[in-house]
Structure 1
Amino acid sequence: MSNPLIAALDSADADQVVAWADQLAPECGHLKVGLQAFTASGPSLARAVVERGPVFLDLKLHDIPNTVAGAAAAVADLGVAMLTVHASGGPQMIAAAVKAAPDVAILAVTVLTSLDDDDMVAVGMRPVDEQVPRLAKLAIDAGAAGIVCAPSEVEAVRAAIGVDPLVVVPGIRPVGAATDDQARVATPAEALAAGASHLVVGRPITRATDPAAAAREIAATL
């Protein structure tokens, strides 16, 4: 099994992101460049991290199909391995991203891990346990390589999409770690046992005194 750990390099400080990438590339399967880092420093930072390891570019694109296709094509030129779009953008939008970036694994975000059922009701959506598998199947049927969901939904998602697509799981917290702003969390071992293919871990690694050691400690539990 390849290394399932994705380190989230979440900072507006490009130098800090690159320093983390240098430390964590040997310990992790992918390095996540998210919206904060990309907005602050742009494509040049993504390219710098790509030089150090495979990049999961977490932009959560959500727009009309033509716009998302253009953005996905631009992302493909950066050499990243994975790109996120929102599943709620619909099948045409997802398919447009897949077509525009055929060498990038397009991952569809189902429901953000910061949301719970009360939040879903507030925005007029179905409960989390209904919405996530539905959006996961929609995304895979539209050609996505995989989906993103919280740990608690992995088993239901696998039942909906089968064993082959990627299932990337944020909201991962080692035993004893703070949940921060994540509403639906699990330990790394729990998420893998449920059927996750990749685990996104941010603050428990990047806030550690020794980020590389923290990543190794998490990997040792898998």
Structure 2
Amino acid sequence: MDPTSQIIVALDCDSRAAADVLVEQLGEACGAYKVGLELLTAAGPDAVKALVAQGKEVFLDLKLFEIPHSVAGAVRAAGTLGVSMVTVHGMGGSGIVSAAVEAARDFPGLRVLALTVVTSITDADLADIGVGDGVDEQVLRLARLAQRVGCHGVIASPQDVAALRSALGPDALIITPGVTLSWESPAEHARPGTPHAAIAAGASHVVVGRAVTRAADPATAFRAVRASLAP
């Protein structure tokens, strides 16, 4: 796979203007962007429409966790916008995840991805909410649930990838936020890893944020990430 197609840049921006500048700086080099709650709340769906109109793939990271009817409605809205991927929270259980999968069937280009355990969560955090198993076990449990009800893949940390690839097989999408370059601080990520390590372990895509978006020269930083993925 072309390393460029495996990189998703996180547009964690607080305005449409800031997002537009970054997309312009990266130009044709970057073909996929993550739009999360910050940009969607600040700029609304027009920010997503603009990316789709430019031919970009959009990973709409909503982490849906609501009653099934509401989740289905949100997934249909995402499909209407033309996004390529949308996330539902695996901890919602089979009813909520199934509702997302069923709603996506009307949009052949839309892939539903289940969030397993966010990259800032630790075993102690899970214990706080009454989950007795550790992160490793919870990630695999939610990933298997997602696959069972028809999700196209999962979201998990770089450190979870090898076990997930073994459990889910070769066709599942495994998308990894929380990647950091070798010289970066892991920030709030409790289970980080480099883009190269994530892809080598079997990730289909990596989500890159600050290493590119806060770089003095985002285009040069993007090329460095792409080069790091070379075999």
TM-score, shorter chain, exceeding 0.5: yes
Structure 1 match to 2:25: 23
Q: TM-score of the superposition, structure 2-length normalised? A: 0.93
Q: TM-score of the superposition, structure 1-length normalised? A: 0.97
Post-superposition offset of 1:19: 1.7
Encode CA deviations 1:150-180: one digit per residue, 9 max, x unaligned. 0111111112211111000011001111111
Encode CA deviations 1:30-53: one digit per residue, 9 max, x unaligned. 111111000111111111122231
Q: Contact (CA 8 Å) 1:114, 1:183: kept in 2 or not?
A: yes
User: Identity over the aligned pairs, expressed in percent?
Assistant: 46
Distance in 1 separating the partners of 2:89 and 2:147: 12
Q: Aligned residue pairs: how many?
A: 222
Q: Which runs of 5+ in 2 are unaligned?
A: none
Structure 1 match to 2:196: 189
Distance in 2 separating the partners of 1:40 and 1:215: 25
Distance in 2 separating the partners of 1:152 and 1:26: 30
1:132-143 → structure 2 map (5 Å cutoff): 132-143=139-150
1:128 aligns to 2:135 (yes or no)? yes
Alignment CA distance shift 1:25-1:81 (3 Å): farther
The partner residue of 2:82 within 56, 79, 83 is: 79
Distance in 1 separating the partners of 2:227 and 2:114: 28
Post-superposition offset of 1:23: 2.5
Give the aligned residue type for 2:208.
V
Kindly report structure 1 stretches of 4+ aligned residues shifted beyond 3 Å. none
Q: Contact (CA 8 Å) 1:4, 1:28: kept in 2 or not?
A: no
Q: Contact (CA 8 Å) 1:7, 1:24: kept in 2 or not?
A: no
Q: Which runs of 5+ in 1 are unaligned?
A: none
Encode CA deviations 1:65-109: one digit per residue, 9 max, x unaligned. 111001100111100101011011111211211221233110000
Encode CA deviations 1:163-202: one digit per residue, 9 max, x unaligned. 1110000110011111111111001110011110000010
Distance in 2 separating the partners of 1:24 and 1:65: 37
